[in-house]
Structure 1
């Protein structure tokens, strides 16, 4: 009888509020449906980067359906040619070697995050594996403008917990051990590629910085801080003469300031600070390493120039390019820049900027297929939590819900609360494919920087300590109430969705506050905080104490009790609303067992759940075919729950590696799509 009753409840849960759905449908009926592939498929081009000598341009673009690196003479971009030939895994980041002769990139296998470093010669196209080790994570430690023939890399092939530092000869590929590491979480090198500082984590969750002299680490730290400053204080880098060390530093203040430390005299001076947000991006002179401009990102990212010459450049760019500006590369001579502009409600574009001539040449639009599509504005909003904390958030309204474009809803629509991961990360103002996709389907979308989010000072981060499923979740509930009070949505018409911590928040929403949400979409979210901490990657050893202090200490009885209490898997029987789960089988951060556990717990209680597994993915879905497939399922799921509109699943599943492990019948259209494939 219980099984029959639960099935009936689940079926009813998929019936939207008919009157509300009609209102939302009328508002978006005349708006063209944007195809998923245009939003989540490969961009046409992206990530433009100049070679240091200014002779070449490189960017990412598809080759046989997979993102690869393309190169063209800077003077003639139309002569572009593919430099790499990855067949399965997209290349998501790359950088120029300092001598401009090769391009380097990292990639993993199937999402396991065991990143290897590869180099490709621009002239010949020959590719080499520069860190040829199995089950090893290579990290680029330092690239110099002055040292052209080598870089510093860190590799954990000897001990998976710690990264040894090597000098990599770019021509021969030879690795020379620079520092054997048994306890340090990070290093800072100068422009001559000499290691100058080593950072070691402390038992209290803070860290100590030690000077390195003649290759040896001193025993007495020169900088120390506790847990409260651990995510807002770090050494940034040296000026090229090695005389000044820049820090982001929150000691003695709340938000992280940019500090310049004179190493000879020991004096420190404040370069920049802001009372509401941490100093974020920094522009440094490629010839000297001296900071020329900095950015502060509170509601939006705002640049401030320190150098008057660069101020003239930034002013010109802001006048000519309407949107969020980002400098993506600069030549050694600093005569040419590549600049990306994000208009937010249009696809981003990349430009070549000639500083001497004050001229801009448009290189490409990342997704030209989105030009002219009905993309919606994003609106920054400040939401007050119940205890008075200000939550910087971002709202996107569906077509027809905001006639005058003031960011205030004229009519309510179903809402998707889209929760960012981390939790030590943040949402930002800018083009967001998920916001655009969901708004186009008829939903308002709200992303909230709940307490523990980074960028707003150490007090905001610390307010989230030991508050997983506690005050961090209260912030999300308060944001939903704000949306209801301000006419964005109506009660019982909100779905919760997110990845990583956002997936965890989804599970918390459906277990701790089961009446607050109409349904949930969990993407690679942990369900059991005990097992999550037992299975974190070994190379996170240096930050393990931070996890313990901010989440709950599994080495103490009180900590174990807290972790159990905040784990959704133990409350699975409370779930009454539809749940969709997506997981990568190779996820090293949130193991597949996290999704398996909650699914098994629900199945043991005969509670409906749809579970989609991708055998070739890790922490999120890097391959566009897989991302499109999961989102195809998700929009059918949300349509059944909230009553929005959708693009049929079609052949999306067949093009992917998706395996529906459970509950195909609980998501409308999924069984039919599987049968058709």
Structure 2
């Protein structure tokens, strides 16, 4: 018996199966609670009177694909959700009347993706939506009556990537990419877009500068803005005079979330996330509530939902080493009532703390990162094991996204199986200012990859992991990083797990969804322009496909057949190249998934394959496969012999 065996194996189903409940909300009038929970094994919307929370009922009955997001209509008469088909990301909008139970699709169009353009605090029965049913590249703006489903065209769009409306549901702004790869912002005047922009950004500010909404009376437009600075600060702009006032700034992180007055739309508190999220209140009453909540909880906490009168909040608490819990918070009485625990089956599980760490890259950048250690490696508050343990470098997607502190199911599974898990915010990650993002321009497979290698070197030098037992794993860009790791630095990683990762950047850009076309210059400026000889050369050099014959270590690839962002051909290509070169590879395909896993049966099956693959490669433990493959849609295309139990 090893030291790790003293700690129970956490079942995969407890980590990746359906939660007991999720996404708790309160209706705008405070009369109803809602949440997502299984109905006949599939996540659906449930509601209950706040006065009688045990009197719960399902109001949707999806039988195959889980509902993953829901909301209340402003008039509190209905709940809504968006749903696609088998991962194609053509999301349609649905409404369920809470009294009659009648469900209707409000945007009943084929091959259409709905976006929410604007909602109102004062107009309760109407929203503005964008629909690309006329032209898949452009979203036309419509007024949608939430009660009747009536759609009225407001603006036929043939030029703009997005819009913003005020509380009267009047279009005020249109946004378009400019020749420099930045964004131009145009005003609407009498329903028409002005010829010249009133604000513009260069490419360097495009990801860190954008309008953040109007006050209810339309007199103030908030901005998150990095122009003439590094991190995005919060500004208030007078819409009549154009003058701007600095509201908040943080030297290490962009200003992120806000809490706003439900009646006026004015900002009452704001957040910034460097290693952890920090909220700062402007409004004293909001500050008192946030301070009181902090005093009640260990770990992280936040607000999920609020009533129109702001008297009741739904709040969550992530203790770090216990399952996330959700509460109903009555502000005036300062009373917390338990709502639910998301995964109560983890209450006795040996969950491990996540440690924020800072890693220095070879050229001096600080890489905010997160480390989780296995339970036998020291435990407690220490962020170093007593002796090196096998490690998985878990790379986030995007790449223009970020890792954050808090409960992470993949971290917990891998740590429980005996691995240190390291997630690195490499250059290009968002939230740390524009300089950090722009340091990644044209650096796919170069400095962005160097950051990951530097993190590996740090882990070895710090005694966290032995050099010969480090795996790389990730989804989307993280999948690309996995392929790049094995192809460009074939001696660094013992194995790799690629989930929906692109292998050929040239074909990736050729097949982006049509509704991304209005922003395509961003990809060209930050990755390489396939329309120029130098850009095409750069994309080919950064594509793992063209160095597939250099891969010598075991590789597991997973792909959703309906992925609109990273097409199945991206995985097919590199698997074909490896087969041609005589290199073993395991390839699993999911015919009912897109860019990642929505169905828990598929998540459980894939991570069963992944943990058994990793156990063979770097020596951790694994829960046997059992019958999870049969319960999923997994199709093993190649290499079933390389994973224990996969061949039956």
Tell me by how many angstroms 1:347 deviates: 1.1
Residue segments in structure 2 that go unaligned for 5+ positions in a row: none
Say if 2:644 is the partner of 1:644: no
Say if 2:103 is the partner of 1:117: no
Q: Quick check: 2:80–2:93 contact (8 Å CA) kept in 1?
A: yes
Q: Deviations over 1:339-387 (max 9, x none)?
A: 1111122111111111111111110000001011100000000000000
How many residues are matched? 648
Match of 2:172 among 191, 196, 212: 196
Looking at structure 2, the residues matched to 400 and 249 of structure 1 have their Cα atoms a distance apart, in angstroms, of 45
Looking at structure 1, the residues matched to 560 and 106 of structure 2 have their Cα atoms a distance apart, in angstroms, of 27
Match of 1:85 in 2: 61
Tell me by how many angstroms 1:542 deviates: 1.8
Match of 2:5 among 29, 39, 48: 29
Q: Deviations over 1:318-343 (max 9, x none)?
A: 10122211211111111111111111
Q: Deviations over 1:199-228 (max 9, x none)?
A: 111122101001111211111111001110
Match of 2:509 in 1: 533
Q: Quick check: 1:344–1:432 contact (8 Å CA) kept in 2?
A: no
Say if 2:280 is the partner of 1:304: yes
Match of 1:624 among 558, 579, 600: 600
TM-score by length of 2: 0.99
Looking at structure 2, the residues matched to 365 and 633 of structure 1 have their Cα atoms a distance apart, in angstroms, of 28
Match of 1:433 in 2: 409
Match of 2:395 among 413, 419, 435: 419
Match of 2:522 in 1: 546
Looking at structure 2, the residues matched to 395 and 567 of structure 1 have their Cα atoms a distance apart, in angstroms, of 29
Looking at structure 1, the residues matched to 320 and 17 of structure 2 have their Cα atoms a distance apart, in angstroms, of 18
Match of 1:653 among 617, 629, 633: 629
Say if 2:238 is the partner of 1:271: no
Tell me by how many angstroms 1:403 deviates: 4.3
Match of 1:397 in 2: 373
Say if 2:348 is the partner of 1:372: yes
CA distance change for structure 1 residues 615 and 404 in 2, over 3 Å: closer, same or farther?
closer
Match of 2:326 in 1: 350
Match of 2:202 in 1: 226
Q: Quick check: 1:492–1:518 contact (8 Å CA) kept in 2?
A: yes
TM-score by length of 1: 0.95
Residue segments in structure 1 that go unaligned for 5+ positions in a row: 1-24, 673-677
Looking at structure 2, the residues matched to 654 and 600 of structure 1 have their Cα atoms a distance apart, in angstroms, of 26
Match of 1:361 among 331, 337, 346: 337
Say if 2:33 is the partner of 1:54: no
Match of 1:675 in 2: none
Match of 1:330 among 306, 313, 334: 306
Looking at structure 2, the residues matched to 556 and 61 of structure 1 have their Cα atoms a distance apart, in angstroms, of 50
Say if 2:18 is the partner of 1:39: no
Tell me by how many angstroms 1:439 deviates: 0.1
SS in 1 for 2:3: helix
Match of 2:586 in 1: 610
SS in 1 for 2:229: coil
Q: Quick check: 1:403–1:410 contact (8 Å CA) kept in 2?
A: no
Tell me by how many angstroms 1:267 deviates: 1.2
Match of 1:485 among 461, 468, 491: 461
Match of 1:7 in 2: none
Tell me by how many angstroms 1:404 deviates: 4.7
Match of 1:212 among 169, 185, 188: 188
Q: Quick check: 2:353–2:380 contact (8 Å CA) kept in 1?
A: no
SS in 2 for 1:26: coil
Q: Quick check: 1:418–1:496 contact (8 Å CA) kept in 2?
A: yes
SS in 2 for 1:400: helix
- Runs of 4 or more, structure 1, over 6 Å off, are none
Looking at structure 2, the residues matched to 28 and 103 of structure 1 have their Cα atoms a distance apart, in angstroms, of 46
Alignment of 1:495-514 (within 5 A): 495-514=471-490
Match of 1:579 among 555, 568, 577: 555
Tell me by how many angstroms 1:405 deviates: 1.9
Match of 1:454 in 2: 430
RMSD: 0.8
